[in-house]
Amino acid sequence: MVATPALETLMNTRISTRALLHIISAAIFFSVLSSNASAATRAIVIAGLGGNVEYSQAFDEQTQVVVSALQTITSTPDHVVHLQGAEANRQTVLNTFETLVQEIQTLSGTDEAIDTFVLVMMGHGNVSREGWNFNLRGPDITTQDLVAALAPLDVPQQVIIASTSASGALLKPMSQPGRTVITATKSGGELNAVRFTEYFAQALASDEADVDRNELLSVEESFIFANNLTVRYFEEQKLLASEHARFEGGDASSVTLATLGALKDAKNNPAVAALLDDRTVLEKAFYEVKARKQDLSAAEYYAELEAVLIDIARLQKRIDALIGSGS
């Protein structure tokens, strides 16, 4: 986050109290801007085969919670594809991947380029000689299917969440630079149905997991919340834990899965949306200053940084006024 180093140095340069308050406000707001909540995102959420009525209903409901959360960070609900029931079959899943890759390639290099991709799979899994399998109606989706389908995916930030039994076997095959991989188990040997799925959905259903209270729920916050509740469940039940969730790669603190509270409400406010467009310009200016740090003296660097942050604070004040008035 930008707040701590910037504020410490600015305090050392003895800026005025009023200016410091502006910087504090701006820094808090910029922590929101830099967390990627407004990024061009595409997501696919798949409910696996339940095997019985109880599991089928649970997977459908839990994936719907994830879909609803992801839709708060996209410009249109269609950017989050939900496959469940009869649609959750191998061929439809592969066709959906292919269509998405084509869309991403078409938008590449344009103002609408996709920079974040999220895949969530909730259900049952198992392992074979070839690796992990995601249980679907008809043939399963295999590790090889996923590796091949996602290989052409040219997106800077990718999040793969496999909340199933045996999903730990997916960790190494799916890992690559810029990709976060979350699994509900540490290996393919943990074969019991997992509790992590329930708690991960719970993380996205409310603001409980939003530890820093910035109304942006990150992948990291969601994982920590779900993992802690999973561990607590086995401890309270005095059971030997049959699952150990894993989290590898990527900067999951900068990828947002949901907006909450006022930020979520502001998404549907045209006046606020217009102001939020202006933040792109300010965000670019901020990073341009950061990139030039080595070419500037300390005084020049922090003076330019302060100017940008004050502009951000002023913009935030206008946004707060619109949200507060309900305009």
- 268 found inside a domain: no
Contact 260, 217 (CB under 8 A): yes
- Tokens representing 227 are 């993992």
102 neighbors 149 (Cβ within 8 angstroms): no
Using alpha carbons, list the distances in angstroms from residue 246 to 181, 226, 271, 302. 8, 11, 41, 39
Please tell me the total count of domains within the chain: 2
Which of 19-33, 224-238, 269-283, 288-302 shows the highest mean pLDDT?
Answer: 224-238
Query: Does the pLDDT value for residue 309 go beyond 60?
Result: yes
Are residues 237 and 189 located together in one domain of the fold?
yes
Residues 75 and 129 in one domain: yes
What the block records as the tokens of 190 is 């943990």
Residue 269 inside a domain? The answer is no
For the CA atoms of 174, 45, 197, 249, the dihedral, rounded to the nearest 10 degrees, stands at: 30
Q: What is the rounded average pLDDT for all residues in the chain?
A: 84
Are residue 148 and residue 229 in the same domain, yes or no?
yes
Task: Flag whether 272 is in a domain.
Answer: no
> Is residue 48 domain-shared with residue 192, that is, in the same domain?
yes
pLDDT at 273 over 80: no
Q: What CATH number does the domain containing 163 carry?
A: 3.40.50.1460
In the prediction, which pLDDT does 28 show? 46
Are 232 and 306 part of one and the same domain?
no
The yes-or-no verdict on residue 29 having pLDDT over 80 is no
| pLDDT at residue 47 in the model | 98
To the nearest 10°, report the CA torsion of 92, 97, 98, 101.
Answer: 160
* Half-sphere exposure for 101 (CA within 13 Å, toward CB): 14
Whether residue 266 lies inside any domain: the answer is no
The closest of 260, 69, 25, 19 to 2, measured between CA atoms, is: 25
Cα distances (angstroms) measured from residue 124 to each of 34, 113, 165 = 35, 33, 6
The answer to whether residues 24 and 58 belong to one domain is no
Cβ atoms < 10 Å from Cβ of 303: 15
Q: For 310-326, what is each residue's pLDDT tens digit?
A: 888 888 788 777 766 65
Domain stop point among 254, 273, 295: 254
Does residue 16 register a pLDDT over 60?
Answer: no
Asked whether residue 218 is assigned to any structural domain, the reply reads yes
Strands 246-248 and 179-183: antiparallel
Which of 28-42, 95-109, 243-257, 312-326 ranks highest by mean pLDDT? 95-109
The answer on 311 and 230 residing in a single domain is no
- The better pLDDT of the pair 61, 17 is held by 61
Same domain, 86 and 212: yes
The full length of the chain comes to 327
164 lies in a domain?
yes
Give percent above pLDDT 90 in the chain: 58
- pTM, two decimals, is 0.77
Does 283 have pLDDT greater than 50?
yes
- Domain encompassing residue 312: 3-34+286-325
Residues 24 and 62 in one domain: no
Tell whether 263 is covered by a domain: no
Q: Residues 62, 84: contact at Cβ < 8 Å?
A: no
Same domain, 30 and 47: no
Mean pLDDT on 212-240: 92
User: How many Cα atoms sit within 13 Å of 61 on the Cβ side?
Assistant: 10
176-222, pLDDT tens digit by residue?
998 999 999 999 999 999 999 999 999 999 889 998 777 789 999 99
Which of residues 231, 254, 277 is at a domain's end? 254
Tell the burial category of 326 from Cβ atoms under 10 Å away from its Cβ (0-12, 13-18, 19+).
exposed
- DSSP secondary structure string for all residues of 48-67: ---SSHHHHHHHHHHHHHHH
Do 24 and 69 lie in one domain? The reply is no
Whole-angstrom distance, CA of residue 203 vs CA of residue 221: 8
Are residues 236 and 305 located together in one domain of the fold? Answer: no
> Per the domain annotation, does 265 fall within a domain?
no
